[in-house]
Structure 1
Amino acid sequence: MDTSVELVIRKLLSAVDTYRATDLHLSVGNPPMMRVAGKLAPVPDQPLLTPSFMETIVLSWLDDDDRERLYEKKDLTVAKTFENKKRFRISVFYQQGHLSAALMLVPDIIPTVQQLGLPVAAQQLASVNSGLVLVIGPYGSQQDLTIASFIESRNQNTQSHIVTIEEPVEVLFNDNRSVIDQREVGKDVPSVAQGLKFILEEDVDVVMVTDLSDHDAMRMALQVAGSGKVIYAIMNATTIVGALTTIIHSYPGEDQDQARSELAGNLAGVINQRLVTSVAGDKVMLAEVMVPNDPIKNIIQTGELAQLPNAMQTSVGDPGIRTMTLAVQEAAQRGLITRQDVDRLVPQQRRLT
């Protein structure tokens, strides 16, 4: 790589470190931009990025297989550790015919569930014996850190064989009391669904999936959960009702009764989380948690999912239930968010369907 390009990369990484940025955005015709305290700002003293610079820098981050996939699909996500030991999730894509990249910093240290600000109702899901645990929420709500914290908790406290299926491998785990195998889709397994199928035939205790998005993978995830293993998975959904509906609809119509039965029997819990800006300007985690009790299992079994919000509201005293409304109100009582935030967030959360 051209030494001048290497120098720019070092300066950009140094700026991310100095300003404690979480993201770096690179696109032709713009200066490098970084996200600091939730807001985008240009990296100081950097020129507008050129097509040749972006071509050089992006391709230097990719191996031959990655380049082939990029040319074919025009979009690619990889992870890379740079010489300053910082690791980034890198999304590469085209815009107006030019390569662009968005880099998200991967934390050096995996936070605990408590450090993430998750409630006690969510913390118990770190030690379930079997079943499917879903983590959902809007993009950028740290779902990846939540399931990573669960895996690290088990790594430190149990003697387990843990397998992750990731797109790409982001957080790098170090074996402690457990053995952890990290498999990347496209390199180690052909797909999430196929990776889960392999796991059914292997001696595995705990599974982590960072993107449970296609129907085959959803059906395989329920099979894995039903086999007595624990599976933590991120789903692209913003409500609990929406997530469960998507899983049930991943089955053909004639099999959806079976899907509801399997889901009712094997769902260990759902965490719906989101980050909001606090009064102090930093980020606060708000989390809704549902560990199914008997009434909720019955609702899932019968398919009347529209009743879930009311069932959760009437089960607030249950240690495994925490509504988003309660999370928002408690954050306001602690002075973390304003009354205006409550007015904005609570009505939205009541529309769980």
Structure 2
Amino acid sequence: MALNATVRGAMPTHGGKTGIAVAGYDPLVDDSPPTIPYEGGGRYEISDLLRKAIEVGASDLHMAVGRPPILRLHGQLHNLTGEPLTPPETRRLIYGILNDQQKQKFEEEKELDFSLAVSNMGRFRVNVHLQRSTVAAAFRVIDSRIRSFQELNLPTRVMEYLSRRPNGFVLITGPTGSGKSTTLAAMVDLINTERDCHIITIEDPIEYLHHHKRALIEQREVNEDTYSFQNALKYCLRQDPDVLMIGEMRDLETISAAITAAETGHLVFSTLHTVSAVQTVDRMIDVFPPHQQEQIRIQLAAVIEGAICQKLLPSARGSREIALEIMIATDAIRNLVREGNTHMIQGTIEAGGKWGMVTMDRSILDLYRQGAITKEVALLNCNKPVEMKRQMGL
């Protein structure tokens, strides 16, 4: 099946100098980010801060001692106007949203991930941690509405092709904050809309909430509904699933279980923090000890259906643009994976336009030619700057 990819567009996301000495902060220069007005008065409240993040369209809220709360907007950090956070105030704000179990877990492990639902506002992915012995937190705004491929400016025919595979392994990869969860949610929603099937998601934490449409869909959260990704995968195969979505593959055991699930007739989706198709395949194989790698290559070659590698780039228009590398598992790609010739995958992608394949550099070049990103952004994010300059005519 020949597929044509269109990779133009922006991925919607929700995505000062201080005069006081604060533990954990040493002001050296006045090079703080630009500011966003905050009308909360002299006392910060979590609800007001999260509401402000949603109001301005920020993707993240950061709280750390010595600075006012900070929002990430279109990839850039912006201070909220107001006084720097102090250790007691930061602790008050963050501990105010934790239950007793979460407080105990955080104090034991010094790290905590969870999802937060705020009435009449939305959902947030939260990480609480320590820095310089003070409490800090990062909040990721989760768009409550699951968007379509068209709204996300993803190549519809390619995404539908991968979402409609009867079985196999589909990978969505990219750095943190590149929209992987948003893309996965759109793919799961398409299946939920079109197929009478059983979908199980395993997430840490649950981000997008799916409702039963044609499919029966169950969402399991690590540390709430199951002990680990590995444990959930072990038992979910006894729960009669058709489709599995694994929020992240963090270790050999999870990757191995995911490949096995695909081998046994399930459609499996997951993510990695890799930035190219070649790196994605290599990462999955290299995590295994050398004596197992040949067998894993054979298994992966048999089940892989495709990989979508994403980057969100600063737009010339002030938002962000999505650049994609797309690999479809043709016979040629499968042979390269099986034989361990992953260094040849890039060339096969370059020649695979009729299948919807595109390299990251070609996607970035197209965005530049359309005026969507600047020359500087293109050269900073491409893999081959010399060739990119030549293609730009520089």
Give the TM-score normalised by structure 1.
0.92
Deviation at 1:95? Answer: 0.5
Once the two structures are superposed, residues 247-279 of structure 1 have per-residue CA deviations (whole angstroms, 9 ceiling, x without a partner) of 112333222221111100000110001001111
SS at match of 2:150: helix
Deviation at 1:10, TM superposition (A): 3.0
The structure 1 residue matched to 2:345, chosen from 291, 295, 308, is 308
Task: Determine the C-alpha separation between the residues in 1 that align with 2:284 and 2:54.
Answer: 40
Deviation at 1:51, TM superposition (A): 1.8
CA distance in 2, matches of 1:105, 1:12: 12
Task: Report the Cα distance in structure 2 between the residues aligned to 1:202 and 1:11, rounded to whole angstroms.
Answer: 42
Q: 1:224 is paired with a residue of what secondary structure? A: helix
Of 33-42 and 103-112, more deviation after overlay is shown by 33-42
Aligned length: 346
Deviation of 1:307 (Å)? 1.2
> Which segments of 5 or more consecutive residues in structure 2 lack a partner in the other structure?
1-40, 388-394
Deviations 1:9-44 (A, max 9, x none): 232133223322221111112111112233222223
- Whether contact under 8 Å (2:51, 2:121) holds in the other structure is no
Q: Who is 1:127 aligned against?
A: 164
Query: More displaced, 95-104 or 16-25?
Result: 16-25
* Aligned residues of 1:292 and 1:320 also touching (Cα < 8 A): no
Structure-2 separation of matches of 1:58 and 1:340: 38
Q: Give the drift of 1:326.
A: 2.3
Moved more, 144-153 or 197-206: 197-206
Aligned to 2:109: 73
Q: Which residue in the other structure is 2:35 paired with? A: none
- Residue 178 of structure 1 deviates from its aligned partner by 1.2
Q: Aligned partners of 2:234, 2:52: CA distance in 1, in Å?
A: 43
* Aligned with residue 90 of structure 2, among 48, 54, 73: 54
Q: 1:106 Cα deviation (Å)?
A: 0.2
Q: Which moved more, 1:338-347 or 1:283-292?
A: 338-347
Pairwise CA distance, 1:168: 0.7
Over aligned residues, Cα RMSD in angstroms?
2.1
Do the aligned partners of 2:197 and 2:243 also contact (CA within 8 Å) in 1? Answer: yes
Give the Cα–Cα distance (whole angstroms) in 2 for the partners of residues 350 and 90 of structure 1. 40
Deviations 1:50-70 (A, max 9, x none): 222222222232233322321
Give the distance between the partners of 1:64 and 1:225, measured in 2 at CA.
Answer: 39
The answer to whether the aligner puts 1:33 opposite 2:70 as a matched pair is: yes
Q: Which of the numbers 372, 378, 384 marks the counterpart of 1:336? A: 372
CA offsets, 1:214-260, max 9 Å, x none? 11000000001111111110112122222211211233322222111
User: Which residue is 2:48 aligned to?
Assistant: 11
Distance (Å, rounded) in 1 between the aligned partners of 2:325 and 2:375: 19
Matches within 5 A, 1:1-353: 8-44=45-81, 46-119=82-155, 120-317=157-354, 319-348=355-384
Whether contact under 8 Å (1:34, 1:40) holds in the other structure is: yes
Q: Does structure 2 conserve the Cα–Cα contact (< 8 Å) formed by 1:122 and 1:271?
A: no
- The share of aligned pairs that are identical, in percent, is 29
Distance in 1 between residues matched to 2:204 and 2:340, nearest whole Å: 31
Report the secondary structure of 1:189's partner residue: coil
Larger RCO (CA within 8 A; separation ≥ 6): 2
Counterpart secondary structure, 2:62: strand
1:303 and 1:48 mapped to 2: Cα distance?
53
Q: Deviations over 1:277-316 (max 9, x none)?
A: 1110111111111111111111100111111111212223
CA deviation string 1:107-148 (max 9, x = no partner): 021111221111233342121111111111111100010111
1:141-199 deviation line (CA, Å, top 9, x unaligned)? 00010111101111111111111111111111111111111111122111111111112
- AA at the equivalent of 2:294: D
Aligned to 1:347, what secondary structure does the other structure show?
Answer: coil
Query: CA 1:275/1:310 → structure 2, altered by over 3 Å: closer, same or farther?
Result: same
What is the one-letter code of the residue matched to 1:93? H
Structure 1 residue ranges (4+ consecutive) displaced by more than 6 angstroms after TM superposition = 4-7
CA contact (8 A) 2:361 2:384 kept: no
> Greater helix share, 1 or 2?
1
What is the identity, as a one-letter code, of the residue corresponding to 1:121? V
TM-score by length of 2: 0.83
The letter for the 2-side match of 1:337 is I
CA distance in 1, matches of 2:254, 2:86: 40
Q: Write the distance in 2 (CA, Å) between the matches of 1:333 and 1:346.
A: 14
Contact between 1:121 and 1:322, CA under 8 Å: does it hold in 2?
no
* Structure 1 unpaired stretches of 5+: none
Amino acid at match of 1:278: S
Q: Which moved more, 1:202-211 or 1:50-59?
A: 50-59
Give the direction of change, closer, same or farther, for the CA distance of 1:5–1:316 in structure 2 (3 Å limit). same
Q: 3-state SS of the aligned residue for 1:116?
A: coil
SS in 2 for 1:150: helix
Secondary structure in structure 1 of the residue aligned to 2:382? helix
